[in-house]
Amino acid sequence: MAELCLRTIKARSYVTCVRFTHDGNTIASSLWDGTIKLWKISTGTCILALEGHTAAVEEITFNPDESQLASASHDRNVRIWDMKTGNCVHTLEGHEDRVYSVAFSAHQPYVASAANDETIRIWDLTENAPHVRTIDEHTDGVHSVIFSQNGGQIISGSWDGMVKIWGVNGQLISRIRVAYPVDNIVLSPDGNLLATAGQNKTANIWNIATGECVKDLVGRDGHYTVTIAFSHDGKLIATGSGDEARIWNFNTGECIKTFKGHDHSINSIVFKSDDTLLATASFDKTIKFWNACFGTSIPKSPAERLDNHFKEGKGRLFRYEDTEVQQISMLLGQINPRWSKIPRTYIIARIIDCLNVVDTFVDQGFSDHWFPVTEKTLPQQLRPSSRSEFVAFQHLVMTKSMDLEKGENGQHCYFDQGESFPFETKGVLGTGAFGQVDRVLSLVSYKEYARKRVPRTKLFSGRQAEDFKRFIAEIELLKRLKHPHIVEFVGSYSDPKFLGLIMLPIAEMDLSTYLDRADASKHSELRTFFGCLTRALEFLHANHVRHKDIKPGNILVHGGNVIFTDFGLSLDFADADSSTTVSMVNGMTPRYCSPEVANFEPRNTSSDIWSLGAVFLEMAAILKGEKVDYVYKFLKNNGSEHANVRINMEGYLNLLLQLKTMGSPDDNVVLMWVEQMLVIQQGLRPTASTLISKIATAAGEGSGKGVFCGICCLDYDDFDDALDEFEDLTVLQS
């Protein structure tokens, strides 16, 4: 099973090499843009940048006390940097081609460098003229060079398929025929074994004394294994093959861990000094960190596996990323299912040694969704000292997925390939031209939401800039629109394949389906939809928003409530002088769009009024005892015999006359509103405010004001009148 990435550091260029500092708090990286950067692992921030090379830096290495760092570059130079000042103290010139590798001697002031000019050069940093010796007995580029443990020998690996061992005097001591171009060589901690990796699927382990190959490590099919590393205890070996890293049990040769998550080839791999962490560098411009602390075998029991996530205790340097939190949640599900739904709470409680209160937290309904917490919002059972510790350590679990349920206060989240998405898909709610809407379960709060997911291929084909702007505009609109009849924004995210919106509610159906299923038993509920939809449209227009795509498919029905959704075509005219636009139409639904939209003429909020009127016409047909199809069949058989109202006004007016003779006369007021809304001249249509004032006070079926408006959308005066009439009606019925 592939392990999950603990942390990712994003660079601005290809990352060619990484090296941990001894304390494990910092990692140094060399980049294709010619810079060297040091990063604080706990925060992922760059704390030092070394600039001076004029081409890609291929490899870096620290001297034994980490006072200096050496870098090998394609600019044909080696540079030595002072780590206190960040200054370059030596520039070693002499190679005639790209320099691929550099190494410090552990016991002498020597530096060795290897280059594509087929040579190895040895430099004495105590000399004014540092160059000591050139070794030129390889027949192809030399890609890797290291010193032996005692500093008395130099080992080189070349694309000529040979590994050669030299004295520092340049004398050849022995050779190993590897038989493939060598990119990387490393010594085992005891200095007795040499590992090679290069332009070959298989990496090899060699006995230096005999030159015998003692182990083959077969990499990923179709990819070269170009980088290799020993753990500091010598029990593990790590390899990079294509975009995949692996850890091997040295004794058995068994692959015990696989790491997937990079989008491009891995160039460098290295263990932290305590072997708990593995770092990989890639051409995808990232450095990734992986859990490497399982030792020589994978623990069998969930409890053992869980323990490995807490080896550092309060000394944990970096936060638990979403992927690791989900691993912990899965393990808790096998140990104590009650705890599996609050893994972040469990993590902090375990770190501060307060697991005894976790059950109490669960009993009181405490959720990971409560983060961030304060001492006041924590359950009282936690003692004061532990409360302050809990708050102090909560940064370790504040992952980006926490932002996905914070509404307007959250941040848009990006999930890399290989990162786990913190929602579980439970089913499909609907599909559309741009994507689909799913029912999803949050793995943080364990609440269910609706997710609108749009493939990037849909957004970034054709008018990609316009389509992307529409999606981002929908996010920004929903963040500031708070109304009981407008879909609620929960969060937004993107990943390499999709852009997504997390929303509430999860509706039972859209209005189109509702109208298809509606019978007389739904008429009372349906009547309230007229006022609720108009009140929502009044709110949109008052907030300088045109919906631009009002139709039954973009109106949800949930618990007897109607909710506008799908604001992908909407116009925010808050910074404009008016709502009128004359640009090309991005999309339209012919049955519901206004004449001016269909004719590409100037349009404004009155265009929304027309579209809502077309929806009201279908709703009116249901109240009159017919189906929606009745409207369009009638239009096809009357007037100009066209099914669209804007093209067949004569047939439409005849339809209104016909509907007035059907059903309850009290519902004819709806037809009056429709007649006012579906008018060719924009200036003659009522505003949403004018319309809601009529709807909120309309009488129907003798039950008094408010029958066409839910109580949620009545003004206070209208609500008082409706309540009085309801009480009077109750007395009469008694």
| pLDDT tens by residue, 674-688 | 999 999 999 999 999
CA separation for the pair 280, 203 (Å, rounded): 17
In this structure, how many other beta carbons lie within 10 angstroms of the beta carbon of residue 181?
A: 19
Residue 264: both structure tokens together: 């491009």
Chain CA centroid to CA 247, Å:
27
In this structure, how many other beta carbons lie within 10 angstroms of the beta carbon of residue 302?
A: 15
**Bridge-based pairing state of the strands 36-40 and 45-50:** antiparallel
Identify the top-confidence range among 103-117, 375-389, 399-413.
103-117
Chain CA centroid to CA 255, Å:
30
Looking at residue 435, its pLDDT comes to 66
pLDDT above 60: residue 20: yes
CA-derived radius of gyration, the chain: 35
**Bridge-based pairing state of the strands 448-455 and 498-504:** antiparallel
pLDDT above 80: residue 531: yes
Q: Tokens 């570059």, residue? A: 73
Confidence label for 458 from pLDDT (cuts 50, 70 and 90) = low
Of 681, 687, 685, which is closest to residue 602 (Cα–Cα)?
681
pLDDT above 80: residue 474: no
Q: What does the pLDDT look like over 576-629, one tens digit per residue? A: 444 454 444 455 688 999 999 888 888 899 999 999 999 999 999 999 999 999
Looking at residue 16, its pLDDT comes to 97
Lowest pLDDT segment from 349-358, 400-409, 442-451: 400-409
The answer to whether 325 and 7 have CB atoms below 8 angstroms apart is no
CA separation for the pair 85, 131 (Å, rounded): 24
Confidence label for 89 from pLDDT (cuts 50, 70 and 90) = very high
Q: Do domains 2-296 and 509-732 have the same CATH topology?
A: no
Average pLDDT value for residue range 198-219: 91
CA separation for the pair 667, 645 (Å, rounded): 21
Architecture of the domain spanning 403-504: 2-Layer Sandwich (3.30)
Architecture of the domain spanning 509-732: Orthogonal Bundle (1.10)
Mean residue pLDDT of the chain comes to: 85
Of 655, 646, 578, which is closest to residue 618 (Cα–Cα)?
655
Task: List the helix and strand counts (H, then E) for the chain.
Answer: 16, 40
CA separation for the pair 320, 196 (Å, rounded): 34
CA separation for the pair 686, 678 (Å, rounded): 10
Looking at residue 366, its pLDDT comes to 83
Residues in the chain: 734
Average pLDDT value for residue range 632-648: 93
Task: Map residue 467 onto helix, strand or coil.
Answer: helix
Residue 619: both structure tokens together: 């709703």
Residues 6 or more apart from 376 whose CB is under 8 A from it? none
Of 211, 257, 265, 220, which is closest to residue 236 (Cα–Cα)?
257
Chain CA centroid to CA 18, Å:
25
Task: Map residue 48 onto helix, strand or coil.
Answer: strand
pLDDT above 60: residue 716: no
Kindly list the distances between the CA atom of residue 490 and the CA atoms of 440, 442, 451, 474, 543, in Å, as whole numbers in the listed order. 12, 11, 10, 13, 20
Determine what percent of the chain is predicted with pLDDT higher than 70.
87
Side-chain half-sphere exposure of 523, counting CA atoms within 13 A: 18
The answer to whether 704 and 730 have CB atoms below 8 angstroms apart is no
Q: What does the pLDDT look like over 26-52, one tens digit per residue? A: 999 999 999 999 999 888 899 999 999
Residue 519: both structure tokens together: 């019978």
**Does domain 2-296 match CATH 2.130.10.10?**
yes
Residue 501: both structure tokens together: 């919106």
Domain chopping of the chain, boundaries: 2-296, 303-398, 403-504, 509-732
Average pLDDT value for residue range 284-300: 72
